Amino acid sequence: MISGCAERGLPIEVVGSGSKRAIGRPMESAVTLTTTSLRGIALYEPSELVMSAGAGTPLSAVEVELAGRGQMLAFEPIDLGPASGGPQGAQTIGAVFATNLSGARRIQSGAARDHLLGIKGVNGRAELFQVGGRVMKNVAGYDVSRGLTGSWGTLAVLTQVTFKVLPWPEASVTIVFLGLPDDIAIELLCLAMGQPFEVSGAVHLQAAVAERLDHPGLKSRGKSVTALRLENFANSVATRKQRLKEGLRVYGNALELDNRESIEFWSELRRLSVMPYGPSLLWRISTKPTTAPKLVAGVKRYMPVKAFYDWSGGLIWLEVPATDDAGTAEIRRVVAIHGGHATLIRAEPAVRASVEVFQPLGPAVERLTRGLKEAFDPAGILNPGRMYANI
């Protein structure tokens, strides 16, 4: 199919389940290629912490299989479906890696890209290829599999992914501080990340975002929520929690979420249900943690904002009112001042067609990006224009 399209120069929309279809620049394509028939777990060795699955295998199926052996995907992939108007829990494992979407545990355990060991795929030349493998350490050849993460199907169609998994921690506990302003909250999160307690989640939700939480004790307070997660053996978690709280006493008294509440709280964040689908726009901004509050304050000078800070502040989910240009000029200007990059996650197709959805690239990086596109997909048929015009 790819070779046929390549010969005719027919653009192909490459999707898994299509749950993230409303993200990126809108594409016009005659043909859609879904990987959903490439499903099934090809290999699972719990004692080696490794799994291979067809790219079209639903993430939920992967996670059910892992949970059966007390294991998980440590990078806690977030589900952009609900926030972007797509279905919840539908995404495929291939798409998780193709978009490199990682959740709160990314700060402790690494991103999706860090857990990918190998792939099989088909490039725009209709060549089947494989890179990487199934072992944890592998420097044979260039790291092409990792290089394909975050390419949103524009370089190759993934057919099989092999990745690292980890055991579920025995216990999870979350400590919560209420009512801190953004800058103090981020200071607290950074301080906690610098302690030897292996904090595995560090988030701050502004009051207007926190009120969307399901947790009854947190949603109704009318206050911002700053939360830190500890995961480990139960004994360790108990001791570390005490020591962490002592070290952070100057920030006020902390509430505690027990194991069950803690798991529920973080799975809510994982679904991004605090940024629900609606007419407002949603931006995803990556920056240095300590500059995050300044960046958000900078955008606020131009428009009302609601912010959810993940990764100790290094990742900002920013909700802004709908406008024709999505506030692109102002947001990109502020991001340029503070460093980092911004992606428009949710907006009407007409808006996504008229503005740069992904962070515009500098000239050298753009040249390399075009070079890679040419190397993998010279006819430009795989998800053309999904990330950047003419790429």
Partner 1 sequence: MTLTNLPEPDQEVVARSSTIIKDLEQLVARDAVISDEEGRRAFEADALTAYRQMPLAVVLPQTTEEVSKVLRYCQQNRIKVVPRGAGTSLCGGALPAADAIVVGVSKMNRILGVDYENRAIRVQTGITNLAISEAVGAQGFFYAPDPSSQLACTLAGNIAMNSGGAHCLKYGVTTNNVLGVQIVMMDGEIVELGGPHLDAEGYDLLALVIGSEGQFGIVTEATVRILRKAEMARPILLGFDNCEAAGLCVAAIIGSGIMPVAIEFMDKPAIEVSEAFAKAGYPRDVEALLIVEVEGSEDEISRLLSYIVEIVMPFDPKAVEPSTSPEQSERIWKGRKSAFGAFGRISDYYCMDGTIPLARLAEVLPKISQICANKGLKVANVFHAGDGNLHPLILYDANNEDEAQRAELAGAEILKLCVAVGGCLSGEHGIGIEKRDLMGVQFSEADLNVQMRIRSVFDPDWLLNPGKVFPLEMSEKAGAAGSRLRRFPFERIA
Applying CB under 8 A, which part among 138-146, 204-212, 259-267, 318-326 lies near partner 1?
138-146
**Which residues, numbered 89-118, are part of the site for partner 1 (CB under 8 A)?**
100, 102, 106-107, 110-111, 113-114
Of residues 256 through 275, those in contact with partner 1 by CB under 8 A are none
Site for partner 1 in 295-324 (CB under 8 A): 311, 314-315
DSSP 180: -
In whole angstroms, the minimum distance from the beta carbon of 47 to partner 1 comes to 4
Report how far residue 177's alpha carbon sits from residue 187's, in angstroms, rounded to the nearest whole number: 13
Contact 341, 331 (CB under 8 A): no
The binder of partner 1 chosen from 1, 30, 136, 329 (CB under 8 A): 136
Q: Least distance from C-beta 219 to partner 1, angstroms?
A: 28
SS3 388: coil
- Judged by CB under 8 A, the residue of 4, 68, 127, 220 near partner 1 is 127
238 is a contact residue toward partner 1 (CB under 8 A): no
Count the site residues for partner 1 by CB under 8 A: 83
Task: Select the span of 11-19, 34-42, 137-145, 270-278 touching partner 1 (CB under 8 A).
Answer: 137-145
Of 141, 181, 278, 349, the residue at the interface with partner 1 (CB under 8 A) is 141
383 makes contact with partner 1 (CB under 8 A): no
Q: Does 251 bind partner 1 (CB under 8 A)?
A: no
Q: Are 267 and 63 in contact (CB under 8 A)?
A: no
Near partner 1 by CB under 8 A: residue from 39, 105, 146, 271: 146
Q: Give the span between the Cα atoms of 244 and 199, in whole angstroms.
A: 9
Among 108, 274, 255, CA closest to 174: 255
287 binding partner 1? (CB under 8 A): yes
Q: Is 289 in the site for partner 1 (CB under 8 A)?
A: yes
Cα Dmax for the chain? 66
Q: Computed over its alpha carbons, how large is the radius of gyration of the chain?
A: 21
Q: Which of residues 342-361 bind partner 1 (CB under 8 A)?
A: 343, 358-359, 361
Token readout for 257 is 């979420």
Residue of 1, 128, 329, 350 that binds partner 1 (CB under 8 A): 128
Contact pick of 41, 61, 144, 255 for partner 1 (by CB under 8 A): 144
Residues 139, 381: Cα–Cα separation, whole Å: 30
Q: What residues between 148 and 167 interact with partner 1 by CB under 8 A?
A: 148-151, 155, 166-167
Residue number, 58 or 106, with CB nearest to partner 1: 106
Report if residue 11 touches partner 1, rule: CB under 8 A.
no
Based on CB atoms, which residue is closest to partner 1, 122 or 218? 122
| E strand spans, the chain | 12-15, 31-34, 41-45, 50-54, 71-72, 116-123, 128-132, 156-164, 166-167, 171-178, 199-205, 225-232, 255-257, 281-286, 306-310, 315-320, 341-346
Q: Residue holding tokens 């955008």?
A: 299
Q: Are strands 71-72 and 166-167 parallel, antiparallel or unpaired?
A: antiparallel
| Residue 334 binds to partner 1 (criterion: CB under 8 A) | no
**Measured distance CA(318)–CA(341) in Å, rounded:** 13
Q: Tell me how many degrees the CA angle 349-80-88 measures, rounded to the nearest 5.
A: 105
Does residue number 172 form part of the binding site for partner 1 (CB under 8 A)? no
Q: Which of 250, 364, 389, 390 binds partner 1 (CB under 8 A)?
A: 364
Q: Which is nearer to partner 1, 218 or 334 (CB)?
A: 334
User: Considering beta carbons, is residue 48 or 324 the nearer one to partner 1?
Assistant: 48
CA distance 212 to 138: 43
Beta carbons of 147 and 108 less than 8 angstroms apart: no
The angle formed by the CA atoms of residues 19, 151 and 270, to the nearest 5 degrees, is 45
88 in contact with partner 1 (CB under 8 A):
no
Which range of residues in 9-17, 189-197, 246-254, 261-269 is near partner 1 by CB under 8 A?
A: 189-197
Site for partner 1 in 21-60 (CB under 8 A): 45-50
**Shortest distance in whole angstroms from residue 324 CB to partner 1:** 24
